[in-house]
Structure 1
């Protein structure tokens, strides 16, 4: 079990504040308990892989508390998160889904847990957070695709002093993976990347400007010390078309080496989505240029339009990929909470093992969230995926996720 920043000066100062100053701290607080039951099955038998199957079942508990802020020019607060993952079914032959952690002998552990605390201070429209963080920025996207989320330790400041403009920045120092209690230094992930090292310093900064209800632009910078430097630009625009709307999502990223790494990547991506009466049809194109694939912190998600379930990023050096996606929200038929999605991604133009290669992936998902009654806040999701590529393991995968969120405060 890990605990983050319980002895920070900000945290200790908060504990010493008079009770009368903590009125907003208590009154604006909120807490919830998320209970998740997760079954995960990956079948590799089509490719003759040495481990033919990864198959695990686990139960997760995620307790969150977010306080309000104390009164005064500078308001103080604290957030807390407690996580517990419990093995329901696994074995050394079937481990590796990302749901459970393993001991030094490769056996699945019966449980793992983490406790994180975050001290926070607010001045005007700017907020500083120090402690356990789950960042959601183009340069670092905390992974929440398994039983429990990935967390980081660090400091993060966000400012909204000017209308329409959001500025943020900070430093991350430690990385706790989605199936692990420990916090470790960070490293780089990405195709054909070599020469990187573990580090306790990831610096980031960004600016997001909302021009109007239809247009938002962002710029983000990230520097993983001794690994890479990265600049990301994103434009999102929504345009009414007939009785529907067209959303354009354009992304550009330039990543270069730092230290002894060989990082050299330019990533271009564009996704266009037309929505009408519950239907949404998307097409996307993604192109990699440079000597390496797209770099990102180990365990995180990548800010790419074709980052999906299994491949997962279609970001090999020089690879180009296309995506076609369809989704439907059954609220248009009077069944709110029921949703369906399917997509197909195909990539080519890259090499694997010195030979020209191609890859494709298909994903489907159907989910239902109960809207009222005793089962309100219960959701059920089934995800199915198939991946095929020459020179890599073929995968057939199913995930069944039952999640219930209980509001406590």
Structure 2
């Protein structure tokens, strides 16, 4: 699978051996990660519930770099997901967010994929090319919210040649969904056509030790162009006390075939659009966090523009053959807004969202590894699809996490999460959700 990138990875490995592989071998890392998850999705208004459990394995090999002015290396990743309740769980027809669907709409018993990246390093600049890329940038966030992570195919480059400045750029061509063995083109929510060209570039500049400024630009051909501005400042009040300010602004507009139909239209997250199917959005958000010892208090606000919903890379509706049926199974995507929550996104046209969170780290009480939090979000002024009237929605999330700190089982982690979502419009159906996750990573090298 993904023969071209794997062949390149093998070629780089052979070259490394011939070129003097001291750093290539000595700096290598090999690890096996295990994730067991129970997932319960309770639709309160008559929809099909989802009640499933699964086991995921992720094997990662990360080489070092060969010696010389330009160092070469290779990364390989193998993923395997297993449906623990026998492969025929209760789940919505053609719902691909947790397991791939079989021909009858039920979950498959297991699925797997393998990918690899070739990489090169010159001075403080690194380039990666392959099918196991997992960007974490303001304009693209790889999703890891189920058994297996979402990955991308393409090329990326990161440079830190200038002090306090990090430059990122790249072009991606395909995505591999968190519940799929296959790759798809790149798209947006509600569109069923895809694109094989997502280009981006941006920089993070540390103006002072406490202040970081960001600018990024991205373009998904035939769908959207997006500008991002960000600023993060941390004010240290005392050794155990700080105040953090995080500001974000997005400006998204149409590109190419978007807005002209033919499967390239954006459904505006099920909400209103000034021009049907066309991407047109400005979104700003601000978050303020006060930390005192183990306590953390967070408040913030987000405003989505009136002309259309916020947009991000999301392959959930891409079709196998370009038709209006036969989803490929690449559902599930993340984005760089504070409101990307457990159940909902709060990213519809006109939505004003106020949110808050309280978290506590029990290390302050002598129990390291134990953390708990509760969050609440409320979105108002959401424009209805018809453009007449507004509605609101809210979500409450709670979670407890514990990681064993020492002994034979050091690193074994447990996470219990529970969310409640309610909306005042039929386009926001009520839902309760619960997840229990067990994570463990064993490092061989």
Aligned to 1:310: 343
Q: Is the 8 A contact 1:264 1:290 kept in 2?
A: no
> When the two structures are aligned, how many residues end up with a matched partner?
400
1:169-201 residue CA offsets vs partner (Å, 9 max, x unmatched): 010000111010100101112xxx77x731111
Offset at residue 99 of structure 1 (A)? 2.2
Q: 2:203 aligns with which of 200, 207, 212?
A: 207
Structure 1 unmatched runs, 5+: none
Aligned to 2:319: none
Change over 3 Å in CA distance of 1:83–1:18 after alignment to 2: closer
1:233-265 residue CA offsets vs partner (Å, 9 max, x unmatched): 110000123661100000000000002321000
Offset at residue 17 of structure 1 (A)? 4.0
Offset at residue 210 of structure 1 (A)? 1.1
Aligned to 1:372: 406
Aligned to 2:163: 163
Distance in 2 separating the partners of 1:148 and 1:226: 29
Instruction: Find out whether 1:332 has 2:364 as its counterpart.
Output: yes
- Give the structure with the higher percent strand: 1
In the superposition, the TM-score normalised over structure 1's length comes to 0.94
Q: Is the 8 A contact 2:195 2:222 kept in 1?
A: yes
Instruction: Find out whether 1:362 has 2:360 as its counterpart.
Output: no
Distance in 1 separating the partners of 2:112 and 2:163: 40
- 1:140-219 matched pairs, under 5 angstroms: 140-189=140-189, 197-219=193-215
Runs (4+) of structure 1 exceeding 6 A deviation are none
Distance in 2 separating the partners of 1:13 and 1:374: 37
Q: Is the 8 A contact 1:197 1:227 kept in 2?
A: no
Distance in 2 separating the partners of 1:238 and 1:358: 33
Distance in 2 separating the partners of 1:107 and 1:326: 39
Change over 3 Å in CA distance of 1:13–1:241 after alignment to 2: closer
Q: Is the 8 A contact 1:3 1:117 kept in 2?
A: no
Offset at residue 382 of structure 1 (A)? 0.2
Partner-residue secondary structure (3-state), 2:226: strand
Distance in 1 separating the partners of 2:304 and 2:356: 18
Aligned to 1:35: 34
In the superposition, the TM-score normalised over structure 2's length comes to 0.87
Change over 3 Å in CA distance of 1:11–1:205 after alignment to 2: farther
Change over 3 Å in CA distance of 1:280–1:360 after alignment to 2: same
Q: Is the 8 A contact 1:293 1:315 kept in 2?
A: yes
Offset at residue 290 of structure 1 (A)? 3.9
Change over 3 Å in CA distance of 1:351–1:322 after alignment to 2: same
Change over 3 Å in CA distance of 1:4–1:273 after alignment to 2: farther
Offset at residue 292 of structure 1 (A)? 1.4
